[in-house]
Amino acid sequence: MFSSFADWTIQSLIAFDVPDPTTGRRGAPNLTGNHAPNKNAFTMETVFSGIQPSGELHLGNYLGAVRNWVALQDTHTCFFCIVDYHGITQPYQPDEVSRFVHEMAIALLACGLDPDRCTLFVQSAVPEHTELAWALASVTPHGELGRMTQFKDKAEHHPDNINAGLFMYPVLQAADILLYGATRVPVGEDQRQHLELAREIVRRFNARFGETFLEPQPLLSTTPRILGLDGQAKMSKSLGNTIGLAESDSTIWEKLRTAATDPARARRTDPGNPLVCNIYTLHRFFSDEERQEVVRTGCTTAGIGCIDCKKMLLEGVTRDLGAIRTRAQMLRQDPARVERVLADGAFRARIIARATMERVRHRMGIGRPFAAS
């Protein structure tokens, strides 16, 4: 049973393998050239999530978001978007944007996004995102936007760059989600407020113009919080406390070697507490249970030192990131293939986005033909 027209269109596109009218090809070609529509397409919920083209995917992005996206491909109809229009609310260099977008696409594909099982595209390739944002802005209370913690934080830390785009950021996010009838949105704690606003926008729009959108629900992650190498704040490029996925093994080791641990473990002979140590949090992703037990016991009894512990972690990190780097290198050698994946993703996304936008315009009375009474 379809819960909305957009949902129907999404499911139909995937389940019926809609052909591209310009090329005659069906569905999305993937990196292997095959296409395998998901047999559960009719019963799966739709997920939307986006990432800014920051120029580098780091361990925090990977563990906190992208790894979950890869898993969601098996259980949900997924739309993953490189949100370049969100990116321009920060200071940026125009001549770097296309390279950053391309690099982000490579990184996401190398991490395991499969264009056969998800729709991966660039936000600006689907103009309906910004069009819907404007329509939604007309039902979004100004005061609610002013209360957004992220906006207040950014305004406080970057008083020289308080632009209207930053203020409208959550409205564009709502448009991203609602265009595709997404019922689930993977959110971290820092995005919950924006999703709550998106739900409020849906309620206001539906109340004024009739039932049009579904209220998206959060898809809460069980992923432990990944701190930066300083052990203080979330891993973030702007704080310089990240490990980049493309960094060499030796660079990664240099960063891990000096990374913060349990601050109470001042000497090698002091027992530590893995539960307050970010290095142990990383072991939970990169080491098997047996090794995690070695770390827990060794740490709490001072049986191992922090350097021993980090060397053990390094093995898992270099194994997993090495595999991602290898796949990224292969993709980098075939840029046309990556661009084709994005173009096909945008093509599929636009079919849904256009249908949603037509319905929104009709509901709002925009663009209806004049009929003299």
List the catalytic residues: 154, 234, 237
Contacts 24+ apart (CB under 8 A), 338-341: 338/102, 338/105, 338/106, 338/109, 339/102, 340/29, 341/28, 341/29, 341/30, 341/31, 341/105, 341/109, 341/115, 341/120
Shortest Cβ 32–ligand SF4 spacing (Å): 40
Shortest Cβ 316–ligand SF4 spacing (Å): 13
Q: Which helix (H) or strand (E) holds 321?
A: helix 306-332
Identify residue 164 by its one-letter amino acid code.
A
Shortest Cβ 256–ligand SF4 spacing (Å): 9
**CA triplet 54, 69, 254: central angle to 5 degrees?**
50
- The pair of structure tokens assigned to 266 is 């001042």
Q: b vs e for 157-183, b when ≥16 Cβ sit within 10 Å of the residue's Cβ?
A: eeeeeeeeebbbbbbbbbbbbbbbbbb
Shortest Cβ 188–ligand SF4 spacing (Å): 23
Q: Which residues pair with 227 in a beta bridge?
A: 234
Shortest Cβ 235–ligand SF4 spacing (Å): 17
Q: Which residue number, 207 or 275, has a Cβ lying nearer to ligand SF4?
A: 275
28 three-state secondary structure: coil
Q: Which residue number, 165 or 231, has a Cβ lying nearer to ligand SF4?
A: 231
224 three-state secondary structure: coil
Q: Which residue number, 97 or 304, has a Cβ lying nearer to ligand SF4?
A: 304
Q: Which residue number, 142 or 267, has a Cβ lying nearer to ligand SF4?
A: 267
Query: Which residues of this chain interact with ligand SF4, rule CB under 6 A?
Result: 261-262, 265, 272, 274, 277, 279-280, 295, 299, 304, 306, 309-310
Q: Which residue number, 59 or 66, has a Cβ lying nearer to ligand SF4?
A: 59
